[in-house]
Amino acid sequence: MTALVRPFRLAPGARVAVVAPSGPVSEERLEAGLDILRGWDLDPVVAPHVRDRHGELGYLAGTDADRAADLQNAWCDPSVAAVLCARGGYGVQRIVDLLDWDAMRAAGPKVFVGFSDPTVLHQAFATRLGLVTLYGPAAAGADFVKNTRTQEHLRATLFDPESVRTVRADPGGGGVLVPGRARGITLGGCLALLAADLGTPHAPAGARGGLLFIEDVGEQAYRVDRMLTQLLRGGWLDGVTGIALGSWSDCGPYEKLRPVFVDRLGGLGVPVVEEFGFGHCEGALTIPLGVAAELDADAGTLTLDEPALR
């Protein structure tokens, strides 16, 4: 595993496209998110089908073809410097094979931001485009529109990436499951999507040489066990160098999850830090994926070799 191509940082006045590759979007939160982006002196444009809802499958933001077209057109638009997901939910797996990856590669590197269901896109951008991406808040997400810490960490990553070369665990978090330091290339995302993406054309073959960042929402302990076991049985975790655990919102009491992580991950012989503060939580941090870095489980820090963006 090698470090990927870093996109260019954003500058004041940059045009950013907001797309909805997954679930339907709250109009109120969309407008609030757009106002925040405008306050950063960005020029946000909303893709044509962001406000759609599928006529029969109400958990999708419009048809697969329309959602795919919005994403591809935004990415291939030379005036757009970054593409931001409006929210997660479900639906990316239905469109990732509809995208023209050759055309998107020809469009050159740009910034991609999203989390949760867009984990599938983070993996595809890595394997098909060789591109660093940002596992960060949704532009119309509740945490982004309400939490100053979430806003400021993303803003710093986009405009002044040198200032966040060291990402520190959430205050009060950063517990040590397995002590130590590890180096590798950052990868990961939502655990359920990593497990669901196994064996597909756009997923990485495994996490060998990688620092794995995982989190999830609404999954009971036995389901977290099942998904980790699937990754273990498939050999996907062979050679992983370190692991950071993010938020586990609505997954039950953490004291019931912790034994699962000890049982499934403790035997890998790599540092594991818990409650790092990314994913489905208040004040979520933005985690660059595809960059060379060092994870210090004892200190609760991720230190990037280079800024996430050029």
Residues classed as catalytic: 116, 215, 280
Nearest to 213 by CA among 285, 305, 109: 285
E strand or H helix at 69: helix 64-76
Amino acid at 52: D
In the chain, beta strands by DSSP E: 15-19, 43-46, 80-85, 111-114, 133-135, 166-168, 175-178, 181-190, 210-217, 242-249, 272-274, 287-289, 292-296, 301-304
HSE-up (13 A, CA, CB side) for residue 130: 10
Contact by Cβ (8 Å): 87, 23 = yes
Q: How far apart are CA 89 and CA 152, in angstroms?
A: 24
Q: How far apart are CA 165 and CA 163, in angstroms?
A: 6
